[in-house]
Structure 1
């Protein structure tokens, strides 16, 4: 069995990694020739100001009295600038937003593995193409652009990472620091000749990253006074900045200004998904080379009226706009299209700029594939020649239209060749999945006792071993030669060759009707509520409502009325959680306290009931009392932390110590408890619930106590069912329940949306300084805790009832993994992308975890069972 699960673990790990080679490879290519407009640029320098986390409606919407909370930017919009709404593509996170804005391309999702701090490959940017760039702001954003720049002309000035504190008394000081640093630079230049000489050169960029708005939005919500006052502070800072810059350069009229945001924010203070509050950001451009003003119309946010009068552009389009304003090459990896309506220049300049944009995109296409299927070499040459002729004939409008068409075709070609290998690799992975699932079915058919009674199912159809071996060797050789010719990466060999030995193991000992069994099982699973519940969480409610009737339909009610009623009520209580919203819930710390009290009450009831039947040892009593006191403390810590943060007193050190100590000891303390299964299970429940309370902000804190209550009742009912019905005929029914409870544990209170758009308040008991890896890890642990509780229950039932359904669960998970493999997507909103990835990752991780757990618990359970019999222990 150990060998079987180790092989299965290897297969699933390989296929788990495969989606990153199939769906999430970097779209960037290298070796392109930079393209620049031959005509002189309208601006000598560019000032880029990014208000991180600023929503479009927060800046544009007027106050009830008709005034604006950003009067200076409002005056720019109305008198001398062009305003619009920029649309950020998901994921709406700080780093991807800045990459799209400054480099002109959208990152692949795999960059999330590096916390959006590092890109998997180097990339070009407006900063890299500039003569000099001075940057001020966050240490999470600025260094990546300096790291990717050639030479040493990008100068970054950042504050310490510890300053990015959600519990800060005044997060707007981050923005004040940036403005003060900029003023200091220009003041120093008056007495530093070399610095002044550099500043007076053309093609310079000044980048101000303002994180205060984002930090206040996370900590206090976008409708808070702190968030709105921070916008006013930024507006005042921009006004002073323009005054300092214009004075230094002698009001020469050669400075262009761009004010925008990398993403917005939801009403509950999160971002990452595709809601308009997260994707619509303000764009205000003024100064040299910029079109005259469009007046903002009075409107409500996020509807069609709100967008009237605004030019909606993509965030990546701003990169070619900035490049054109100061006359530097458009970043070679940019997929943005120059928004001509923002330019105030001759038609010839616009046509030349659009021509450079088209050639820059076409260069990427040429590098991606030398021989194009969607855009042949002759077609490319025809496009280029015709566009150049139109410009020479001064038919600038026709030239611009032709260039737009060329960009559209080239971008289609980039997507085509970027996904060229996807179908081939996908087929290889599917063959591997089907082969592994078939192999598991073969093992089950061999070992399952009930099937041995049906010889017709075991009729063997063997293929001669030497013939099969030769066939596999030929297939292996053919695949290897094909991959060598294609110059494929090493990982491609693994994905394509792994199915060969898997199918060899299946075909060398295949049974009659095997494929019929596989097809029936796959069809049944794809139609069952478990798969549907991944997309519609309400299906879990329906399933729990049906499961609540199990004791009454199976005849167990007459044998144990109290446990049957407890099961019924537990299922109905648990069924309420999938109906609750996943994101956007307002914090309610009182519910966290109630969850702690409920945990203490249920634990006390169990200990009282257990003590009446079998008195606890003194050491066991002491440990349970200590754990219950610990739960009480952990139920109070979130309330104390929330109160302290509201009063802007920061995170209390004692609370932080308690939280991290609880997390570190959560998996160690249960090992000190009694080896009695019920006692061990209770200790695990108390330890994990204590950690869960510290990570909760509202109603989700009630989920572990209710889930654990139902799990304890389930164990007792299983014993009753075993005594009443025996083992035979119950394997498949128990497997369905177990798979269903695994999914309920994951999706009962949330899914991937609760991580992609999570509320930072969930981790405030542990830390308030921004750290994506630690915060993401804590949120993942919160999601996993209910799963661990359910898996521990499975192990208890396995020992108590001698029922084993490990192989059947692995088969079910393999079916669902294959299903969700086809649903993985790398387009749409980050919520859609993240959900598709999470579904695949969850079912794949579920299989891998089950395999690991099965191997470990098989040895552990055997030793425990021997001890159990020697000491004559029994279940209370």
Structure 2
């Protein structure tokens, strides 16, 4: 197999492995074709006003100030005197779109929505807005349009401010909320002179939705404990009071308006959200008005948390709900059909109505969820062979009929409590059944992917042994193809395809189930290599072989462990610090070994530092910029003293420009954060310099010579100038320490070659990256090369988790991108944060490219070893993926697999980028000469 074919096949296989997890665990839960279900009794409210305070934490609303006063006195008085309250528990990811979908449509959206930025509808879904007679909504252009787009007919109206208004650097983000309140007021005022609008507002089943983004924006910009965040809550409280009084007055205080205030998600102390920390998943819920229970006094109530005592609310009954339960609550209050895809359970304790109404509403809720269950079961039955279909026994067709008949009989006999209890049981069973059918194909799909994984890893190991080692001589014989073998595997593939075809499976199932066939065919074709290898190993020292395998497994386990505990990286780096002593390199290169040990210890400190929740430390970023300039001056002075033919005046010009870029970046970081602190926004000049630095940093290294240290030095300067602009604290030092260790690693590996008696090139100073294109220099692999590959993977993982934990979306501080933009833009901000993560990757990859050149190895051989190590890690995480336990556990297990698979694909691409950055040179003038040895 040619190198290009092999790389393309590897990328394709790993893309399949990566995408498979979304089909297996993240496929859309939605089904269509259900009959709408509606409570047959008149509802208590004609209209509903929904306030969603984006990014509002439960404790921020309910806690008292130091002087025992509330930050939101109106809402506090509501829950103490007029309405019901509790905590709405959200699910991960705690982002705006999934939170609003759960609140308004009643289901927890699958992660496939991420691909469209959570703005467009990846699937059409029903919502309370869609079922209403009219819905008017005001707020963010990121949220409102998706509910209007999914609605049937023309009855959901949106009024949005511009996307540019969502500026984290604005003077006061509370203006976003004031815009909403002002427009609602003018809307009602204008309706008095507009008969059509006035009539529509006086209809039944009307919803008014106020999306309030200011609190979220202020939380991102200033943190939830800031004065700005708390002042925003106070302003929202005052305005909610005004709107509630205005609406009651507009309708003549008819007592037919229900009000709900809640939030889509909370926010961490450091101003982010997305993961499963309680500060993100606990949101407030305050409900009052028509059909809502008055406050219920209690002497004691038990919850796992201590919040009630902190909030001085221990005597007011706290009614907690799941976020999806709010949708059926809204539907019940205004008498619209429950959203078709809702999985929420109606929280009856919020309702102030007759026992009959509660029982009928609960029965409607049960029938609505059973409708989904029946459609889901029917779909699965139609796509599965009858003798293979295993139904969900607790809720068979006969059981469904019996449950519903019994519940209806209880209602007719006025045994309302029994009817409600039975309906809740049916709902729980139906939800279990929905999950059962949703995950029905998970086992056989998972087994197919696991077989492909094992087969691919085995094949790569065999390729390494056959083409890059002296362990086997079966190269010629293994290339002979057996027709029997080919037709045998082809026959197996046809049988699998036939079974999938008659079950009308999705086309992706064909890929997952047929992939093991060609992969294992490639493995079995190499049977002579396997036999030759087994004979070779048996004839050698078995204890040594077993010991080597054990060390490899232990090293990989440490890498896997580091995904859960970053301190494992610290342990690994401390072990690395002792590597020169263990291998006797200390005696050969004492200076390099001493620096290696020091830098390993320094780098080991970073995984012990806090990932999130830290305050920005701009002076430290500035100090790092100055330190970079100081190191650059020493390096440049050393280069200028070098009078040999390798010095190039063109290189010196580029270095000076790069140093100027670092200096400018340091100034821009300082200036920008001062400006934002003074609420003067992002200076335009700073923004221009930042973007110019970003663009130039990828080109400038290509203008310098391809001599090893000159090119690596240029890459470091360019990347540091960009990284400084994306830093807010200690992480600015990370690439500097990491690159220092990489430089020493290159020196140490050169010294390690003495063990093999290889003919060494001249000094590293004159090594040229263009050696990588000279195939005659390549040698066969040694056991030490496995160690080199492991070092590379370890450093890549360290680059990944050294200063943050990308497995959790909330580990990144939005302030990181403020030098580039402050206006909310998920795609652009996400891209810049990914660039920040990628920069340490590039540094490690370029160092690894240098090691391949200096140790006279082809990039293919070491890359294959890296591929094996990372694939074994990925297989670990594939088996660790789970769909039980807390939502945080589930999300973490899946994100780990996605991360390590992305890492594998990313490393393959990064290898190509490293080769481009190190071996290519742009010629801007005829006077520039390209030297080589």
Shorter-chain TM range is over 0.9
Counterpart of 1:867? Answer: none
Quote the Cα distance in structure 2 between the aligned partners of 1:515 and 1:157: 71
Q: 1:621 matched to which residue of 2?
A: 652
2:835 matched residue in structure 1: 781
Over residues 220-277 of structure 1, what are the superposed CA-to-partner deviations in whole Å (9 max), with x where a residue is unaligned? 1111111111111111111111111111111111111111111111111111122221
Match of 1:354 among 350, 354, 362: 362
| Kept after mapping to 2: 8 A contact 1:442/1:514 | no
CA deviation map 1:774-809 (0-9, x unaligned): 111111111111011000001111111213422211
Number of the residue aligned with 2:582: 553
| Aligned counterparts of 1:271 and 1:13: Cα–Cα separation in 2 | 28
Q: 2: distance between equivalents of 1:88 and 1:310?
A: 16
The TM-score normalised by the length of structure 2 is 0.89
> Which one of 545, 549, 574 corresponds to residue 603 of structure 2?
574
Aligned to 1:698: 729
**CA deviation after TM superposition for structure 1 residue 755, in Å:** 3.6
Structure 1 residue 709 corresponds to structure 2 residue 740 = yes
SS at match of 2:342: coil
Residues 304-343 of structure 1 aligned to structure 2 (within 5 Å): 305-306=308-309, 308=314, 309-343=317-351
Structure 2 residue matching 1:557: 3-state secondary structure: helix
Correspondence for 2:281: 279
**Comparing 344-353 and 609-618, the one that deviates more:** 609-618
Question: What secondary structure does 1:777 align onto?
Answer: helix
Partner Cα separation in structure 1 for residue 523 and residue 804 of structure 2: 39
- Whole-Å Cα distance in 1 between the matches of residues 919 and 683 of structure 2? 46
Are residue 538 (structure 1) and residue 567 (structure 2) matched?
A: yes
**1:572-619 deviations in Å (ceiling 9; x for gaps):** 111100101111111000111111122222223333334434553221
Deviates more, 1:331-340 or 1:654-663: 654-663
The answer for the alignment partner of 2:671 in structure 1 is 640
Q: Structure 1 pair 581/647, CA: closer, same or farther in 2 (3 Å)?
A: same
Relative to structure 2, which stretch is displaced further, 385-394 or 290-299? Answer: 290-299
Match of 2:410 in 1: 390
Task: Say if 2:821 is the partner of 1:764.
Answer: no
List gaps (5 residues or longer) in structure 2: 382-390, 538-544, 759-781, 922-928
Once the two structures are superposed, residues 683-738 of structure 1 have per-residue CA deviations (whole angstroms, 9 ceiling, x without a partner) of 11111111111111000000000011111111122222224544654212212212
Distance 1:829 1:589 in 2: 37
2:398 aligns with 378
Helix, strand or coil for the counterpart of 2:588? Answer: coil
Please tell me whether the aligned partners of residues 26 and 120 of structure 1 are also in contact (alpha carbons under 8 angstroms).
no
Partner of 2:766: none
Query: 2:215, 2:232 within 8 Å by CA — same for their partners in 1?
Result: yes
* Aligned positions of 1:432-471 closer than 5 A: 432-452=452-472, 465-471=482-488
Given the alignment of the two structures, is residue 512 of structure 1 paired with residue 530 of structure 2, yes or no?
Answer: yes
8 A contact 1:752–1:838 mirrored in 2:
no
What is the SS of the residue equivalent to 1:558? helix
CA distance in 2, matches of 1:513, 1:353: 70
The answer as to whether partners of 2:359 and 2:420 remain within 8 angstroms in 1 is: yes
Q: Deviation digits for residues 76-106 of structure 1, max 9, x if unmatched?
A: 1111111111111221111111111111111
Change (3 A) 1:170 1:279: same
In the TM superposition, what is the alpha-carbon distance from 1:630 to its structure 2 partner?
0.7
How far did residue 311 of structure 1 move?
Answer: 1.1
Map of 1:30-109 to 2, 5 A cutoff?
Answer: 30-109=32-111
Q: 1:330, 1:360 within 8 Å by CA — same for their partners in 2? A: yes
Residue 385 of structure 2: aligned partner: none
The whole-number CA distance in structure 2 between the counterparts of 1:501 and 1:202 is 62
Q: How many angstroms does 1:856 deviate by? A: 7.2
Q: How many residues align?
A: 866
1:818 aligns with 2:875: yes
SS of corresponding position for 2:840: helix
SS of alignment partner, residue 52 of structure 2: strand
Between 596-605 and 301-310, the greater mean CA deviation after superposition: 301-310
- 2 CA distance for matches of 1:142 and 1:81? 27
Query: Aligned ranges for residues 35-184 of structure 1 at < 5 Å?
Result: 35-184=37-186
Deviation at 1:855, TM superposition (A): 6.0
Measured in 1, the distance between the counterparts of 2:80 and 2:478 equals: 82
Residue 332 of structure 1 aligns to a residue in which SS? Answer: coil
Q: Structure 1 residues 607-616 or 106-115, which shifts more?
A: 607-616
Tell me the equivalent position of 1:525.
553
Secondary structure of the corresponding residue to residue 208 of structure 1: strand
Q: 1:364 aligns with which of 360, 363, 372?
A: 372
Answer yes or no: is the 8 Å Cα contact 2:846–2:915 preserved in 1. no
Structure 1 residues 725 and 604: alpha-carbon distance in aligned structure 2, compared to 1, 3 A threshold:
farther
CA contact (8 A) 1:49 1:258 kept: yes
- What residue number does 2:294 align with? 292
User: 2:168·2:824 contact (CA, 8 Å) conserved in 1?
Assistant: yes
Partners in 1 of 2:634 and 2:305 — Cα distance? 52
Q: Compare 405-414 and 480-489 and name the one that shifted more.
A: 480-489
> Does the aligned pair in 2 maintain the 1:93–1:272 contact within 8 Å?
yes
2:13 pairs with 1:11: yes
1:486-533 per-position Cα deviation (integer Å, ceiling 9, x unaligned):
211111111111221121111122133699899996994375311211
Residue 27 of structure 2 is aligned with which of 25, 45, 58? 25
Secondary structure at the aligned position of 2:320 is classed as strand
SS where residue 608 of structure 1 aligns?
helix
Give the Cα separation in 2 of the matches to 1:417 and 1:41: 34
Q: For 1:851-870, list aligned pairs within 5 A.
A: 851-854=908-911
Moved more, 182-191 or 465-474: 465-474
1:576 partner SS? helix
Following superposition, the deviation at residue 766 of structure 1 comes to 0.7
CA contact (8 A) 1:272 1:830 kept: no
- Shift of residue 6, structure 1, vs aligned partner: 2.0
CA distance in 2: counterparts of 1:515 and 1:389, whole angstroms: 74
Equivalent pair of 2:85/2:287 in contact (CA under 8 Å): yes
Match status 1:790 vs 2:844: yes
On the 8 A contact 1:753/1:831 being kept in 2, the answer is: no
TM-score normalised by L of structure 1: 0.94
Shift of 1:858: 7.3
Matched-pair contact (CA < 8 Å) for 2:611–2:811: no
Counterparts of 1:821 and 1:633, CA distance in 2: 45
Alpha-carbon contact 1:438-1:515 (below 8 Å) kept? no
Q: Could you list the per-position Cα deviations for residues 144-181 of structure 1 after superposition, in whole angstroms to 9, with x for gaps in the alignment?
A: 00000000000100111111111110111111111111
The alpha-carbon distance between structure 1 residues 845 and 263, as it changes in their structure 2 partners (threshold 3 A), is closer
Secondary structure at 1:730 match in 2: helix
C-alpha change, 1:247 and 1:441, in structure 2 (3 Å) is: same
- Which string of whole-angstrom CA distances, capped at 9 and with x for unpartnered residues, describes residues 46-102 of structure 1? 111111111111111122333222121122111111111111122111111111111
* Bigger shift: residues 494-503 or 202-211: 494-503
| Residues 857 and 686 of structure 1: CA distance in aligned 2, closer, same or farther (over 3 Å) | closer
Partner-residue secondary structure (3-state), 1:822: helix
Look up the match of 1:421.
Answer: 441
In structure 1, C-alpha distance between the alignment counterparts of 2:319 and 2:533, rounded to whole Å: 57
1:745 matches 2:748 = no
Seen in structure 2, the aligned counterparts of structure 1 residues 406 and 469 have a Cα distance that, compared at 3 Å, is: same
Check whether the contact 1:90–1:829 (CA below 8 A) recurs between aligned residues: no
Shift of the 724–607 alpha-carbon distance from structure 1 to 2, 3 Å rule, reads farther
